[in-house]
C-alpha cells in the first residue's frame, strides 16, 4: 500500500468517525479494507495508525472479532459431486478446521514478528532520542564555545592595543627617568659637597641630641609599660567574646556546608572563565610590576631631592624640637632648607581647628596659611621656618620686628 492509498483510507475512516461511527466499526472497516482490498494482514500498529483511536488492548480485540467473522463466514457446505450429505458437512467442517489451524499458526508467527518488530522499533527510538539529546548537547556546547572564543578574541585585541599604548608611555617614562637620574646625580654631588661643610655645624648639636635620646628612651619605656597594661585589659575583655565567637563558628560551619555545594557549581563555571582571563591577568601583572618600578623610582627621586643626604632620625628630632619650641628663629634660619624634605604640613589650624592649612611657594620663599581664618606664617626662607612660624604666633611677631 502506497502513500496515496494510505491517505485515501485515512480520509474514508475520518469521514466515518465524523458521521458517528464507533471504534469497533472503524477497526472492522480498516481490517476489511486491508485484508480484502490490499492483501495486507491487519495488525495492531497498522489499524491504530489508520483509525487514530483505540488503546493497545482494544484494537487486538477488534482484530480478533474480525477474524471470528471471517471464520464463521468460511464454514460452507461442500456440495456437488457424488458425496453423501453427511460427508459433505464433515468435509466442510474439516476445511474450516484446516483454515482455523492455518490462521492460528499465522497469528502465532505474526505475534512473534510483531514483538520482534516492536523491540526493534523501541531500540531504534531509544537510540534516536539519545542521539537527539547528544546532538542538542553538542550544539549548545558549540554555541557556548564560539561565544567564549569571540569574547576572548575581542578581549585579546583590546589588550594588544592597550599594551601597545602602554609600551609607548613606558618608553617616554624611561627617557624622562634617565634624564631625571642624570640631574639627580649632579644635584647629589653638589649636596654632598654642601653636606661636608654642614657637618662641622652638626657637631655642636650631637651633644644635645644625646641628651634628648636619653629622655626619649625614658619616655619610650614609660609608654611601653602603659601599652602592656592596655593589652592585658583588652585580653581580659576579649576572652568572653572569643567564647561567643566559637559558638557562632559552629553555627556558621552548618551554614557553610550548604554554601559549599553551591560554591562547587560556581567554581566549575569560574574555572572556565579563569582560562580566558589567565593571559589578561599575566599581561596586567606585568604592567603593574613595571608601573610599580616607575613609581618606586619617582618616590626615591623625590626623597633624595627633599632629604638632601641628612639622617632621617636627626631630621625628625629637629622637627620635634621645633614643635616643642626649643629652637629659636635664628637657629631655624641657620638650618636653611636641609630638612625641608622631612617637614610635614599640619593637618589642622591651631586657631580655628577646622581649617586645613595650605603651603604656598613663591620663588625661594614659603608661606603657610589657613583658608578659613587669617592665621599665616608670613614669607619664610624655608618650609621648616614657615611651619614653625605657623605653630607659634610669637615667633611670627618676633620675626617681623627683626626684619623691621
DSSP per-residue letters across 121-153: HHHHHHHHHHHHHHHHHHHHHHHHHHHHHHHHH
Is residue 320 domain-shared with residue 357, that is, in the same domain? yes
Task: Give the domain range for residue 388.
Answer: 310-403
pLDDT tens digit string along 82-111? 556 666 566 667 766 777 787 788 888 888
Instruction: Specify the residue for cell string 569574547.
Output: 151
Last residue within a domain, chosen from 282, 308, 334: 308
The yes-or-no verdict on residue 57 having pLDDT over 80 is yes
Q: State the pTM of this model.
A: 0.26
Q: Looking at 134-143, 208-217, 262-271, which range is the least confident one?
A: 262-271
The yes-or-no verdict on residue 20 having pLDDT over 70 is yes
Is residue 131 domain-shared with residue 65, that is, in the same domain? no
Q: Identify which has the larger pLDDT, 323 or 399.
A: 323
pLDDT tens digit string along 170-179? 888 888 888 8
Is residue 41 domain-shared with residue 58, that is, in the same domain? yes
State the angle between helix axes of 3-18 and 23-32 in degrees (0 to 180), rounded to the nearest 10: 150
Confidence class of residue 331 from pLDDT cuts 50, 70 and 90?
confident
* Three cell numbers, residue 245: 565567637
Number of domains present in the structure of the chain: 3
Nearest to residue 341, comparing CAs of 313, 387, 302?
302
Is residue 52 domain-shared with residue 161, that is, in the same domain? no
Number of alpha helices (DSSP H) and beta strands (DSSP E) in the chain: 9, 2
pLDDT number for residue 103? 75
Instruction: Specify the residue for cell string 466515518.
Output: 16
pLDDT number for residue 384? 75
Is residue 296 domain-shared with residue 169, that is, in the same domain? yes
pLDDT number for residue 21? 83
Q: Any bridge partners for residue 362, and if so which?
A: 365
The yes-or-no verdict on residue 137 having pLDDT over 50 is yes
Q: Where is mean pLDDT largest: 159-168, 314-323, 343-352?
A: 159-168
Is residue 139 domain-shared with residue 257, that is, in the same domain? yes
**Cα distances (Å, whole numbers) of residue 243 to 235, 255, 257:** 13, 19, 22
Phi first, then psi, for residue 53 (nearest 5°) are: -155, 160
pLDDT tens digit string along 104-132? 888 888 888 888 888 888 888 888 888 88
Buried b (16+ CB within 10 A) or exposed e, 264-298: eeeeeeeeeeeeeeeeeeebeeebeeeeeebeeee
Task: Using DSSP bridges, classify how beta strands 365-369 and 358-362 pair: parallel, antiparallel or unpaired.
Answer: antiparallel
The yes-or-no verdict on residue 79 having pLDDT over 50 is no
Is residue 265 domain-shared with residue 132, that is, in the same domain? yes
Confidence class of residue 231 from pLDDT cuts 50, 70 and 90?
confident
Is residue 293 domain-shared with residue 184, that is, in the same domain? yes
Instruction: Specify the residue for cell string 611657594.
Output: 361
Is residue 101 domain-shared with residue 244, that is, in the same domain? no
Is residue 96 domain-shared with residue 140, that is, in the same domain? no
Is residue 145 domain-shared with residue 177, that is, in the same domain? yes
Is residue 270 domain-shared with residue 137, that is, in the same domain? yes
The CA dihedral of 330, 333, 334, 335, to the nearest 10 degrees, is: 130
Last residue within a domain, chosen from 96, 124, 152: 124
State the angle between helix axes of 383-391 and 393-403 in degrees (0 to 180), rounded to the nearest 10: 120
Average pLDDT over residues 293-303: 62
Last residue within a domain, chosen from 72, 93, 124: 124
Nearest to residue 78, comparing CAs of 102, 94, 67?
94
* Three cell numbers, residue 130: 539519545
Amino acid at each position: 500500500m502506497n502513500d496515496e492509498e494510505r491517505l485515501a483510507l485515512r480520509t474514508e475512516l475520518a469521514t466515518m468517525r465524523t458521521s458517528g461511527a464507533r471504534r469497533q466499526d472503524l477497526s472492522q472497516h480498516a481490517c476489511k479494507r486491508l485484508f480484502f482490498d490490499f492483501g495486507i494482514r491487519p495488525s495492531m500498529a497498522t489499524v491504530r495508525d489508520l483509525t487514530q483511536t483505540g488503546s493497545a488492548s482494544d484494537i487486538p480485540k477488534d482484530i480478533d472479532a474480525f477474524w471470528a467473522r471471517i471464520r464463521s463466514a468460511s464454514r460452507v457446505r461442500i456440495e456437488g459431486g457424488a458425496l453423501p450429505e453427511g460427508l459433505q458437512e464433515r468435509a466442510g467442517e474439516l476445511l474450516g478446521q484446516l483454515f482455523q489451524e492455518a490462521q492460528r499458526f499465522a497469528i502465532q508467527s505474526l505475534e512473534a514478528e510483531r514483538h520482534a518488530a516492536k523491540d526493534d522499533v523501541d531500540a531504534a527510538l531509544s537510540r534516536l532520542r539519545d542521539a537527539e539529546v547528544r546532538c542538542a548537547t553538542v550544539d549548545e556546547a558549540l554555541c557556548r564555545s564560539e561565544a567564549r572564543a569571540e569574547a576572548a578574541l575581542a578581549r585579546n585585541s583590546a589588550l594588544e592595543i592597550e599594551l601597545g599604548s602602554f609600551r609607548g608611555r613606558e618608553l617616554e617614562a624611561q627617557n624622562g627617568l634617565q634624564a631625571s637620574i642624570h640631574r639627580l646625580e649632579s644635584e647629589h654631588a653638589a649636596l654632598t659637597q654642601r653636606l661636608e661643610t654642614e657637618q662641622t655645624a652638626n657637631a655642636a648639636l650631637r651633644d644635645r641630641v644625646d641628651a634628648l635620646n636619653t629622655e626619649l628612651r625614658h619616655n619610650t619605656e614609660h609608654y611601653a609599660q602603659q601599652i602592656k597594661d592596655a593589652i592585658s585589659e583588652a585580653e581580659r575583655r576579649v576572652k568572653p567574646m572569643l567564647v561567643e565567637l566559637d559558638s557562632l563558628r559552629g553555627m556558621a560551619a552548618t551554614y557553610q556546608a550548604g554554601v559549599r555545594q553551591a560554591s562547587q557549581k560556581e567554581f566549575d563555571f569560574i574555572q572556565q572563565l579563569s582560562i580566558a582571563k589567565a593571559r589578561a591577568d599575566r599581561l596586567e601583572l606585568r604592567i603593574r610590576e613595571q608601573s610599580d618600578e616607575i613609581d618606586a623610582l619617582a618616590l626615591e627621586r623625590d626623597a633624595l631631592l627633599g632629604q638632601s643626604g641628612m639622617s632621617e632620625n636627626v631630621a625628625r628630632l629637629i622637627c620635634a624640637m621645633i614643635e616643642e619650641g626649643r629652637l629659636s628663629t635664628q637657629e631655624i634660619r641657620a638650618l636653611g632648607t636641609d630638612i625641608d624634605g622631612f617637614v610635614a604640613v599640619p593637618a589642622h589650624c591651631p586657631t580655628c581647628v577646622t581649617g586645613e592649612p595650605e603651603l604656598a611657594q613663591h620663588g625661594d620663599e614659603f608661606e603657610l596659611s589657613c583658608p578659613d581664618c587669617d592665621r599665616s606664617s608670613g614669607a619664610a626662607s624655608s618650609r621648616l621656618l614657615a611651619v614653625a612660624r605657623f605653630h607659634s604666633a610669637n615667633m611670627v611677631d618676633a620675626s617681623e620686628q627683626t626684619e623691621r
